[in-house]
Chains A and B, each alone.
Chain A
Amino acid sequence: MRVRTIEISVGLFLVAGLLALAMLALKVSGLSVSAGGGTYRLYAEFDNVGALTRRAKVSMAGVTVGRVVDIEFDKNTYMARVAMDLDADVNTIPLDSSAAILTTGLLGEKFVGISAGGDDVFLKDGDLVEDTQSAVVLEELIGRFLLNSSDGGD
């Protein structure tokens, strides 16, 4: 009987561990993009990526559909080449869609937002998003604002 109690409590212990892991997966990390099936790779070239980092979100219409996996400098075009892994389910992004680097809130993190175009041909694995809009660099904006206001003052 004593051995049986031990076995039961070990079984409960293992179940509790699995439950905790399941809760960490579902409730805490909201397991979605990374584990939900396959992904496909898209590229986009930006004049300036600002503070965009790896693992940043890629979203369409405010919904996360992928993540940034790599950012490197393209020495031929002098632009930043961003590689993104998108959910395999989201395979109907028109060819003329545009990518922009946006910010969540005023000081929030940077993410890539994709706005759908109107083409009936869709982007495939390894394609380049042609139409891009760079990150808004706050310092440049302030600089431009100061320049404008001093112009206006004259």
Chain B
Amino acid sequence: MNWCTESMVSLGRWGVDTVRVMGRATLILFLMLSRGGGGQGAFFPLLVRQVYVVGVLSLVIIAVAGLFIGMVLALQGYNILVGYGTEQAVGQLVALSLVRELGPVVTALLFAGRAGSALTAEIGLMKTTDQLASLEMIGVDPLRQIAAPRFLAGVISMPILACIFSMVGILGGALIGIDWLGIYDGSFWGNMEQAVSFADDVMDGLIKSVVFGVVVSWIAVFQGYESMPTSEGISLATTRTVVYSSLAVLALDLFLTAVMFGDL
């Protein structure tokens, strides 16, 4: 009996805590969005600076990863398809898998590791060293000055990075397929054009990457804000950012794919 109540108590506590965290996260998202534009001082330079940190500096890893993934897709696809004499379909295989799935998802995973963790650590350290509190003391809203530009920069950068990832991947696939494996380039690009539709495939991939951008940046900023003000707390929050955003991206991807392509 006693054990039973104890477990109910812990379950209830867990439930209340979860709802509380969700509430705080939603509140932070709402405040970031509502205070982003207003306030004193120009907002745009802050945003540009964060797009540089979050987006431009992630470009190299995104482009290199895209190139390799496109090349591997072309090689693997060729090895299987050549058995059926349909190696011209490598183009559409590479393009569809990149544009629909791998572009948005792998970009979001890399983005969580490269930019999300850095965001969390930065904000977490600011909190630990009482910089956020100091900002508030001198009358500057840290949500507007620190959190909102980072969040918006992530939302802006994600779709751009995903587009670049897909394009570089397709070029890598073409490099392997056409120049190395000797697929006729007319049928490579032609089949690709036939199979990929702009409204369905490219736009859906873009929508996915915007959603992932919101989720990853939101988790990163929130974890930074919520981190315990110790060195251990920061490392815990950084780990959480990467784990939570990766899981959220993968789960949301299944959901979005089911809605977009599963005729749900």
Does A7 interact with chain B (Cβ within 8 Å)? yes
A25 to B168 alpha-carbon distance, docked (Å) = 14
Q: Which residues of A contact B59 (CB under 8 A)?
A: 13, 16
Shortest A22–chain B CB gap in Å is: 9
A69 to B200 alpha-carbon distance, docked (Å) = 12
Interface centre among A7, A30, A55 (most CB of B within 10 A): A30
Check A10 against B56 for contact (C-beta < 8 Å): yes
Interface centre among A3, A27, A31 (most CB of B within 10 A): A27
- Show 7 A/B contacts (Cβ-Cβ < 8 Å), sorted by A: A12-B56, A13-B51, A13-B59, A20-B167, A24-B166, A27-B193, A28-B202
Known: A6-B49, A54-B263. A17 touches B163 (CB 8 A): yes
Interface string of B44-78 (1 = CB under 8 A from A): 01001101100110010000000000000000000
Check A34 against B198 for contact (C-beta < 8 Å): yes
Does A29 interact with chain B (Cβ within 8 Å)? yes
Question: Dominant SS at the A interface?
Answer: helix
Q: Which residues of B contact A9 (CB under 8 A)?
A: 52, 56
Q: Which residues of A contact B189 (CB under 8 A)?
A: 27
Since A13-B55, A25-B198, A35-B199 are in contact, a sample of 20 more A-B pairs with Cβ atoms closer than 8 Å, ordered by chain A residue number, is A6-B48, A9-B52, A9-B56, A13-B160, A16-B59, A17-B161, A20-B160, A20-B164, A20-B168, A24-B170, A25-B202, A27-B189, A28-B95, A28-B192, A28-B196, A29-B196, A29-B201, A34-B197, A34-B198, A35-B198
Shortest Cβ distance from A19 into B: residue: B167
Q: Which residues of B contact A7 (CB under 8 A)?
A: 48
Does A51 interact with chain B (Cβ within 8 Å)? no
Does B210 interact with chain A (Cβ within 8 Å)? no
Check A23 against B167 for contact (C-beta < 8 Å): yes
Instruction: Kindly list the 6 A-B residue pairs having the minimum CB-CB distance in the complex, ordered from nearest.
Output: A17-B160, A30-B193, A20-B167, A34-B199, A20-B163, A29-B198
Check B49 against A14 for contact (C-beta < 8 Å): no
Known: A3-B45, A9-B52, A24-B99. A29 touches B163 (CB 8 A): no
A6 to B54 alpha-carbon distance, docked (Å) = 12
Known: A28-B196, A29-B202, A34-B198. A6 touches B166 (CB 8 A): no
Interface string of A79-104 (1 = CB under 8 A from B): 00000000000000000000000000
A14 to B52 alpha-carbon distance, docked (Å) = 10
A27 to B189 alpha-carbon distance, docked (Å) = 8
A10 to B149 alpha-carbon distance, docked (Å) = 14
Known: A28-B193, A29-B202, A55-B200. A16 touches B99 (CB 8 A): no
Does B5 interact with chain A (Cβ within 8 Å)? no
Does B7 interact with chain A (Cβ within 8 Å)? no
Shortest Cβ distance from B153 into A: residue: A10
Does B147 interact with chain A (Cβ within 8 Å)? no
Check B164 against A17 for contact (C-beta < 8 Å): yes
